[in-house]
């Protein structure tokens, strides 16, 4: 596979780099960013935290605004931030911000015109980790985290394939997408009208039937404009309580949905994952 390095910046003794590569899963070129801490070498491969971003974001938002590199360098953890959807002139899109390019929702679309390219679940869970492992000095220990739509993706993927991840965390995640406007719109477009298919990508539904547990951390700002209508974290918290699932849920007065919130607590998340990696 051809992989092209498009930018490199030294940070905290390590390197932040962007790459483009052709994706066979998505049938288009994709971009991702990786932060390699100074410890990373062929003789000392490091664990990886996959970061999934939210609606309208690319790989750049978190890497530039999240403030994660200093602690990642201290802990010796690589961070991989993929894009949030396939992109390109010939790829299906929508005029709204919450569907189409920038809004892949980390599912495998089954409906036209989305199914040809929008296979983000397989890309994140299979193709990209294989590429990262074969290209960079990383080991077989992975964790996953994300924000908003990406928080949905991170928790959902950890629940569906717990054998792949040592831990999972999220900021302001969409935890019950089958029961919120963002999720209902995206799932009906990408997956069709059968809500049984939707449940396979809904974290609350998945946790209720989970048989394997992995540690999870969720942070939620109480000044988040999307909290009541879109995020509904109490649905996941209730399911976790019923299942005695190892979920740590924290609420924070005054914090909103922005990267100011993420950057305030990202070091906590990195330390949390380091314990399990």
Q: Tokens for 189? A: 């477009």
What residues act catalytically?
Answer: 148, 224, 257
- Count of C-beta atoms within a 10 Å radius of residue 137: 15
Q: Is 117 exposed, middle or buried, given 0-12, 13-18 or 19+ CB atoms closer than 10 A?
A: buried
**CA dist 210 → 149, 190, 237 (Å):** 21, 24, 14
Q: What distance in Å separates the CA atoms of residue 162 and residue 151, rounded to the nearest whole number?
A: 16
Q: What b/e readout covers 19-43, taking b as 16+ CB neighbours within 10 angstroms?
A: bebebebbebebbbbbbbbebbeee
Q: What b/e readout covers 233-271, taking b as 16+ CB neighbours within 10 angstroms?
A: bebbbebbeeeebebebeebeebbbbbebbebbbbebbe
- The residue among 22, 61, 206 whose CA lies nearest residue 147 is 61
């Amino acid at each position: 596979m051809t992989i092209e390095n498009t930018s490199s910046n030294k940070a905290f003794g390590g390197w932040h780099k962007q790459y483009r590569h052709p994706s066979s899963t998505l049938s288009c070129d994709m971009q991702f960013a990786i932060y390699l801490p100074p410890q990373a070498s062929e003789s000392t491969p490091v664990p990886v935290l996959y970061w999934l971003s939210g609606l309208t974001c690319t790989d750049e938002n978190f890497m530039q605004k999240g403030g994660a590199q200093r602690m990642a360098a201290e802990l010796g953890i690589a961070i991989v931030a993929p894009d949030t959807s396939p992109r390109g002139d010939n790829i299906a899109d929508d005029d709204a911000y919450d569907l189409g390019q920038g809004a892949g929702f980390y599912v495998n679309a089954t409906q036209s015109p989305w199914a040809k390219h929008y296979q983000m679940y397989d890309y994140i869970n299979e193709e990209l980790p294989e590429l990262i492992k074969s290209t960079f000095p990383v080991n077989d220990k992975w964790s996953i985290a994300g924000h908003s739509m990406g928080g949905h993706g991170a928790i959902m993927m950890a629940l569906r394939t717990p054998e792949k991840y040592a831990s999972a965390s999220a900021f302001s995640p969409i935890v019950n997408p089958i029961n919120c406007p963002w999720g209902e719109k995206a799932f009906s477009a990408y997956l069709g009208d059968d809500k049984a298919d939707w449940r396979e990508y809904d974290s609350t539904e998945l946790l209720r039937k989970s048989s394997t547990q992995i540690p999870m951390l969720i942070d939620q700002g109480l000044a988040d404009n999307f909290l009541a209508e879109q995020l509904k974290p109490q649905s996941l918290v209730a399911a976790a309580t019923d299942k005695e699932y190892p979920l740590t849920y924290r609420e924070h007065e005054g914090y909103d949905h922005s990267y100011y919130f993420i950057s305030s607590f990202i070091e906590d998340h990195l330390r949390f994952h380091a314990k399990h990696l």
